[in-house]
Structure 1
Amino acid sequence: MNKAAVAHPASGGEQDGLPVPRRHWALAAIWIAVTMAVLDSSIANIALPTISAELGASPSSAVWVVNAYQIAIAMLLLSMASLGERVGYRRVYLSGVAVFACAFLGCALAGSLTALAIARFIQGFGSAAIMAMNGALIRHTYPREGLARGIGYNALVVAISSAAGPSVAAGLLAIATWRWLFAVNLPLAIVSIAIGIRALPEARGGATRFDLPSALLNAVTFACVFMIGSDMAHATASLRTAGFAALGTMTGVILVRRGRRDENPLIPLDLIARPALRLSYLSSITAFAAQMIVLVTLPFRFQTGLGLSHVEIGLLITPLAVGTAIAAPIAGRLAGRPSSGPLAGIGMFVVALAFLSIALLPASAGLIPCAVALAIGGMGFGLFQTPNNRIMLTMAPQRRSGAAAGMLATMRIVGQTCGAIVAAAILRIDGTNGALPLFVASTFALVASVFAGARSQVSRMRLED
């Protein structure tokens, strides 16, 4: 890398993006880490049956390899966002990548399911830092006029990584043990850190302190929410679930009360109070819930109704991610234009129609119409995600970039968790071969479209004023 290109760091967010070629190096560091995180989620899910068999664990116990990771992310996302505003986005991001890399080694060397779950929990710490800082770093890397395009390219990287995940996992498992699924990511982490140290912007937000009590309250609250969701999804609700609900409610109330007295609260009440941002958060939750309902239930429908193999199911669902990868950069180019306001709402309306069409397809229609509908739905999601993410990042003050990025990632996790809970409930009620999940997912997508359309109207009125 050219030393001259990285000799002068961004000055605390005052500079409008990074100069070229430093900008390109910074994006390389960001996208390598994002690719690593997305691939890790995909390959861990694919490897669960193999891990369960080799470590002598039951399938229900093996799920904790995924749950431990998700709980850690949910607990720490907003705390990492707040920490980034205090000590700097680059420092938190690179620390997260380093923790992620060390945890990869722990996963690869784990000799029991407990050790693997602990390593995955620690890995969730690193992933939370990466996810919480990703949007803030993108915002400080791109100039303002190119930010929408940058968000679109970031969504493209995520979509390609998601689409490639099952194939990468299947290929590695065909030639090596499951441990290599984790070890193979170590070189990527090292490269991301080496580039990021020299190229990432050194911006930070306006926070003057890190509120440790609020961070602890936040961790307990989100851990309780996740455990309640897990119990509901697995139909194991009990007195323990009620205890989690009581504890989570108490810590959540205390956390909100503390936030009302803070200028830069860990729970960003100042951002939630803005109508356009609030509607964007709601549209993000419902959009990701719709997507997750389909991703969870459609494989069951394909397997029980059509008798497809796991490989065939993976290939059939891939067009959803491919469609997003195609549309996201296009949406990035359109999102910065004054006429692009309705783009997100139109995108989710397309998603709703795509899911509805799959639900109405007769069994004799074959697989191609379903694959085409999923690709169209993916394109609609790409048209939605880029402009919606742009609003969530840019309508927050520059000094609150970390909080804005943290909320963006948190809304995604909340939406996915809600979608998984709804999907599990539908599967218990309607079985694995019905079309009810697709009708429900279509409804969620339509609600997301309404929220996005309302947000577009609010934003337009604000510009007129």
Structure 2
Amino acid sequence: MSRLFATRPGDDGLPGPERRLAVLALILGTLMAVVDTTMVNIALPSIAAGLDVSASRAVWVTNLFQITCAAFLLVFAALSELLSRRRLYVAGVAVFTLAALGSALSQSLESLLVFRALQGLGAAATLSIGPSIYRQIFPSRLLGSALGLSALVVAAGYAAGPAIGGVLLSLADWPWLFALHLPLGAVAVVLAWRALPREVARPGGFDWQGALFSVAMLAGLFVAMDGAGHGMPAGLVAAWAGGSLTAALLFLWRQRRAPHPLLPLSLFAERRFSLALAAQGCAFVGQGLAFVALSFLFQQAMGFSPLQTAWLFTPWPLAIMLVGPLAGRLADRLNPSLLASAGLALLMAGLASLARLEAEAGVVEVLWRMALCGIGFGLFQPPNNRELIGSVPRERSANASGAMSTSRTVGQSLGVALVGAFLAAGLAVQATLWLGALTSLLALLASLARLPLAAAAQRERRAVKAAGGD
């Protein structure tokens, strides 16, 4: 870990000692957003009882947060070029924290939903630019290691969220889940303002039309996917999907004409970026699908209790926490696409082995399969993120970061929706896990396609380094 904060001659990014506080600010902001999602899911029954509303209405406490966050990822990534990433990150953490206070004080579902939407806006501002700030903080030689640290933080948040929520709910009422963010948010705001790199804002305007089309496209897509997985009438799902498709076509039309496009389409001319983005989207479909499908498999088919199910999930994020930092460090030395492809092969094998589980299978048979999936995903994610961020010019890092966050969120949500659609059609839950293995195979094919490109880029970096360049 100490090598992340050591300075060498010719390093870009912040000097070694200054990286510590900057990274701590990023860790706190990311943890609050990630832990919030999993922690609040646990509290939905308590929120429904406390506000005297039905469970179906209480679900919107989570849904509205996720839809708002997803819809504004691209918008905030582009807006950071005008405001600077430091200012946007500080504003995002501040809005998230103040909205958490509003959520804690809410006495009605309507009030809570307003503040949850504001929390989603704050989370979108921080998550959309987080990876690109890592590129600002760390020198290029440590980018993979830095993104491995990021993967560890996200996995730790997902693993700890349910446990934190369960402990707090056993000691206090649900508003304290939101109040927990207040001290962490205050510290994160101060650290981010003091420690994150300063930069000169880009001159020029903002693509407001593109922003409007982007929000409509992503919000419509998420409502359609959520509805498909939760019994929304087919006609209404089709209407939302059609509206999303129309907005997507208008968005693409606008991006070709805008002087400062929200998402420069030139990014996709870089095949390493495009293939890495495709691999990420397909892999997150598989992971999002598996996390929901396995809950049904463990409890309904195999007879485990909710508490036992929570423990059975532990090896997956724990393996990511252990493997992710190592994979990131290796990605700074080896071909990142080779590492990512190996990880996807393990993920695919793990999902296929879970799909073959018998109802009478024991705990050990479940645990090693979950660990295999976690090892595969941990080996895939940091090297793939390095390719995503490192394959584009520095001035486009924020746009790449926004596209990366959007791809991840869309993939996860699509996976959840597919589970709902499969179960509504009366298919066995194992069928969804086979679909997850298939999406992992698609991700693997995309990753293998960029192997020669990544190898050429690696040789170029070594040649520049040998010549005495950056």
Same fold, TM exceeding 0.5? yes
| Cα drift, residue 207 of structure 1 | 6.0
How well do the aligned residues superpose, as a CA RMSD in angstroms?
1.9
1:8-27 residue pairs with structure 2 within 5 A?
16-27=12-23
Instruction: After superposition, give the CA deviation of every residue in 1:257-298 in whole Å (9 maximum; x if it has no partner).
Output: 121123542123111222111111111111000001110111
How much does 1:211 deviate? Answer: 1.5
Paired AA for residue 377 in structure 2: F
Aligned to 1:123: 119
What does residue 348 of structure 1 align with? 344
Q: CA deviation at 1:130?
A: 0.7
Q: 1:441 — aligned with what?
A: 436
CA contact (8 A) 1:205 1:402 kept: no
Residue 210 of structure 1 aligns to a residue whose secondary structure is: coil
Q: What is the CA–CA distance in structure 2 between the aligned matches of 1:402 and 1:56, rounded to whole Å?
A: 42
1:338-358 CA-partner distances (Å, limit 9, x unpaired): 444311011011011011112
Which residues of structure 2 form unaligned runs of 5+? 461-470
Aligned to 1:106: 102
Shift of 1:209: 2.2
Q: Are the structure 2 counterparts of residues 294 and 245 from structure 1 closer, same or farther at C-alpha, using a change threshold of 3 Å?
A: closer
Say whether the 8 Å CA contact 1:323–1:375 is kept in structure 2: yes
Tell whether the 8 Å contact from 1:206 to 1:400 is kept in structure 2 after alignment: no
Alignment match of 1:452 (pick from 447, 450, 453): 447
Instruction: Find out whether 1:402 has 2:398 as its counterpart.
Output: yes
| CA deviation profile, 1:23-61 (whole Å, cap 9, x unmatched) | 101000110111111110111111111111221111111
Size of the aligned set, in residue pairs, is 452
Provide the residue aligned with 2:304 in structure 1: 308
C-alpha change, 1:237 and 1:276, in structure 2 (3 Å) is farther
Which residue number corresponds to residue 27 of structure 2? 31
Identity %: 36
Q: Deviations over 1:324-366 (max 9, x none)?
A: 1111001011101244431101101101101111222333330
Query: Do structure 1's residue 240 and structure 2's residue 236 form an aligned pair?
Result: yes
Q: Within the alignment, does 1:327 sit opposite 2:312 as a pair?
A: no
* Residue 382 (str. 1) matches residue 391 (str. 2): no
Q: How does 1:124-139 map to 2 (within 5 A)?
A: 124-139=120-135
Alignment of structure 1 residues 283-294 onto 2, 5 Å? 283-294=279-290
Establish whether residue 422 from structure 1 lines up as the match of residue 437 from structure 2: no
Name the stretch that deviates more: 321-330 or 108-117: 108-117
The equivalent of 1:66 in structure 2 is 62
Check 1:47–1:442 CA distance in 2 against 1; reply closer, same or farther (3 A cut): same
Q: Report the Cα distance in structure 2 between the residues aligned to 1:82 and 1:435, rounded to whole angstroms.
A: 40
In structure 2, what residue type is equivalent to 1:248? S
TM-score of the superposed pair, with normalisation by structure 2: 0.92
CA distance in 2: counterparts of 1:257 and 1:83, whole angstroms: 20
Question: What are structure 1's unaligned runs of at least 5 residues?
Answer: 6-13
**What aligned pairs does 1:70-89 form with structure 2 within 5 A after superposition?**
70-89=66-85
Which of 409, 419, 422 is matched with 1:413 structurally? 409
**Offset, 1:204:** 5.5
Aligned AA for 1:309? Answer: S
Counterpart position of 1:194: 190
Indicate yes or no: 2:237 matched with 1:252. Answer: no
* Distance in 2 (alpha carbons) for counterparts of 1:266 and 1:445: 29
Give 1:463 deviation, angstroms: 5.9
* Equivalent position amino acid for 2:164 in 1: V
Q: Given residue 233 of structure 1, which amino acid in structure 2 is its aligned partner?
A: G
SS for the counterpart of 2:72 is helix
Cα distance in 2 between the residues matched to 1:211 and 1:81:
12
- 1:451 partner letter: A
Match of 2:155 in 1: 159
